[in-house]
Amino acid sequence: MASASQVRVALGALGSGCALTFVLTQLLSSPPKAKPCPSEKARKETFDQLAPRWDVLVRSDEFLAGIGKLRRRLIQKARGDVLEVAVGSGRNFSYYNTGRVTEITAVDFSRAMLEVADEKRKEVEPVPLRLKLASTHRLDFEDSSFDTVVDTFGICSFEQPVQALQEMRRVLKDDGQMLLLEHGASKWEFVQGMLNRGIHRHVEKYGCYANRDIPKLVREAGLHITSDQRSHFGTTYSLVCAKHPPKEEEEE
């Protein structure tokens, strides 16, 4: 019989939110017929519909997978003027160190999600919080505006992930940091096979491409990974990135 820790690992292998449903679906069903994944508009509608019950939907699976601890560990690194993209329902708000953060600007392309996040303003007090309806693909901020850019489980939902990451890099200060907590491709062939097998069904239901090669996308966007920690069979990525390569890399 599997231990409690083994169960948590198995659930976490498929990321946050819908891991249990995803595993059972892939094990018990036949592969779906090949078809195009939903458009950006269709996935936005998915998030709008799920927004009022999003926190309830993902709470238990995030707890079992230990996602809250991963969020806390990463978000507490944020400092200065912060931009959080794809903020969703504001699940990171309670983890910010208000002694290190001067202001938080949070954007999302779903108005319904922002309405849920707006109800959590007290979690970041006394830090000023600005909420803005915007796509990460086109950020309405000047170059080098933020000390920290945060994204948690957003790369999986971007229509053009490299373009979104390039925009995030553009608005990051030269000495700033980008904090990414993502789920994506696994280093385990069996787990990756499950991700690939159910990707169409998963995107339709949750608006999420859970099988993307996250480090590859990050590097294609011109970012430099300074810290890379993995969990859940390598499918959960905790990355700290810089806008420019470290000095030692420049000197080589």
Q: What is the C-alpha to C-alpha distance for residues 178 and 160, in angstroms, rounded to an integer? A: 18
Residue 198: CB atoms within 10 A of its CB come to 22
Is residue 250 a part of any domain in this protein? Answer: no
Q: How many domains is the chain built from?
A: 1
Q: What is the C-alpha to C-alpha distance for residues 251 and 245, in angstroms, rounded to an integer? A: 10
Is residue 90 a part of any domain in this protein? Answer: yes
158-187: per-residue pLDDT in tens? Answer: 889 999 999 999 999 999 999 999 987 767
Taking alpha carbons only, the member of 47, 24, 29, 30 closest to residue 203 is 47
pLDDT at 192: 61
| Ranges of residues in the chain whose predicted pLDDT is under 50 | 1-32, 34
Q: Which domain holds residue 164?
A: 4-245
- Residue type at position 91: R
Is residue 156 a part of any domain in this protein? Answer: yes
Angle at 165 between CA 161 and CA 166, to 5 degrees: 115
DSSP lists the bridge partners of residue 129 as 104
Give the CATH number for residue 101.
3.40.50.150
Is residue 252 a part of any domain in this protein? Answer: no
pLDDT at 29: 43
Indicate whether this model's pTM tops 0.85.
no
Q: What is the C-alpha to C-alpha distance for residues 158 and 137, in angstroms, rounded to an integer? A: 8
Q: What is the C-alpha to C-alpha distance for residues 239 and 228, in angstroms, rounded to an integer? A: 5
Is residue 158 a part of any domain in this protein? Answer: yes
Is residue 237 a part of any domain in this protein? Answer: yes
Is residue 13 a part of any domain in this protein? Answer: yes
Can you give the length of the chain in residues? 252
pLDDT at 66: 93
| Three-state secondary-structure class, residue 210 | coil
Is residue 251 a part of any domain in this protein? Answer: no
Q: Are 16 and 65 in contact (CB under 8 A)?
A: yes
pLDDT at 234: 75
DSSP lists the bridge partners of residue 152 as 181
Angle at 202 between CA 116 and CA 36, to 5 degrees: 115
| Three-state secondary-structure class, residue 154 | coil
Pairing of strands 101-108, 129-133: parallel
pLDDT at 202: 58
pLDDT at 206: 61
pLDDT at 25: 44
